[in-house]
Amino acid sequence: MHVLITGGTGYIGSTAVEIMRNQGYEITILDDCSTGHADSVPQGVRFVQGSLLNPVEICDALADVDVVMHFAGKSLVGESVEKPDLYKRVNVDGTRNLLDEMSKVGVKKMVFSSSAATYGQPQEIPIKESAIGAPTNPYGSTKLVIDQMIGEESRRRGIAAASLRYFNVAGAMHCERGWLAERHDPETHLIPNVLRSTAIDPVKIFGNDWPTPDGTCIRDYVHVIDLIEAHIKALETLTDNHHEIYNLGSGDGFSVRQIVDAASKATGYAIPTLDSARRDGDPAILIADITKARKHLDWRPTRGIDVMISDTLESIR
Ligand code: UFG
């Protein structure tokens, strides 16, 4: 099977490329490298350096492809609050272009990187896929619009699709070329920031007055390798005319302080922290109900928070 992986030079996309290449899938990558890294592309993988905003480049990348795994996009909650138009253009307009080009060349299968940010702060925790979408930031809004767009495309054109709603992806993967890990600049994600914290530049804790037991936000962390294993299961179970939505998380929640404590245990010293103001756009608690992915995809995450932290630690040492 020939898979087009958009965003295949980024943190999650490059892990998908590595795992799927090892499993014998033929792969083409489409990435503009605006946040990814061309040096992550393995030998023997076709790489089109191009943009979702350029239909000619998309069409080139789609040559002989059977299915698209669509990871490319802007993905930072904080940045999206500052630059909502950029998020709409790249995420929504870019995906529209991709779906249009897929239609022209007859590619009818897609697995999409959606997000828990589509839910906002639902009344019920853990969050089921049936929860009403009410994003608290522009990033989540773009992902919700795209999920709806793919659903419409499935009804209209019969495409087989899955939207995978990621909770907080963490951890890293070691391969022959070294570690595939988070290399964002600037880094905004909690676990890498905690592990890079120093007395001079301590990690900021965004809010200590949230309605949670210790006052810090609670998130559901899932290891990037477990996440990609779910993608492959979703890919292999795509059904014509069907668009399925699956939550991908662990089903467990950890507060920011619990992450700092677990990281202090892993490093062997107390991680310095600085209590700071809340970050715009953050919901208080996000925990996934992963029953649907367990049942329909026969998927379960096997790597816990300690593995996510130790892999990230190894990757930055
Ligand atoms: N946080 C800090 N200090 C930091 C970084 C983060 O206190 O230096 C806090 C945040 O306020 C939040 C939690 O740690 O409460 C996790 O923040 P991240 O930035 O690591 O991740 P987010 O929850 O903002 O977002 C991530 C992905 C999104 C996805 C979301 C879904 O980046 O793409 O998880 O749960 F939508």
CB-based contact 13:5 (threshold 8 Å) = yes
145 and 216 assigned to the same domain: no
- Percent of residues, the chain, with pLDDT higher than 70: 100
193 lines ligand 1 (CB under 6 A): yes
Do 208 and 139 sit in the same domain of this protein? no
Verify that 159 and 186 share a domain, yes or no: no
Residues 69 and 39 occupy one common structural domain = yes
Asked if residue 282 has its Cβ within 6 Å of ligand 1, the reply is yes
What is the tens place of the pLDDT at every residue in 83-117?
999 999 999 999 999 999 999 999 999 999 999 99
Nearest to 134 by CA among 125, 124, 144: 144
Query: Do 146 and 214 belong to one domain?
Result: no
For residue 215, what are the domain limits? 173-220+251-316
Please tell me the least confidently modeled range out of 41-45, 183-187, 211-215. 183-187
Q: What pLDDT, in 10s, does the model give residues 32-76?
A: 999 999 999 999 899 999 999 999 999 999 999 999 999 999 999
Question: Are 131 and 185 contained in the same domain?
Answer: no
Question: Given pLDDT bands bounded at 50, 70 and 90, which one contains residue 186?
Answer: confident
Residue 177 has pLDDT above 90, yes or no: no
The answer to whether residues 101 and 194 belong to one domain is: no
Question: Mean pLDDT over all residues of the chain?
Answer: 96
Does 180 share its domain with 57? no
> Which protein residue has the closest C-alpha to ligand 1 atom 18?
189
* Of 121, 196, 219, 257, best ligand 1 pocket probe by most atoms within 8 Å of the beta carbon: 219
pLDDT given for residue 286 in this prediction: 95
**Cα–Cα distance between 229 and 310 in angstroms, integer?**
20
Residues 33 and 143 both lie in one domain: yes
pLDDT tens for residues 73-89? Answer: 999 988 999 999 999 99
Please check whether residues 204 and 301 belong to one and the same domain. yes
Set 11, 25, 139, 246: catalytic member: 139
pTM: 0.97
Judge if 196 and 264 occupy the same domain: yes
> How many folded domains does the chain comprise?
2
Q: What is the CATH number of the domain that holds 184?
A: 3.90.25.10
119 in catalytic set: no
* C-alpha 188 – ligand 1 centre gap (Å): 7
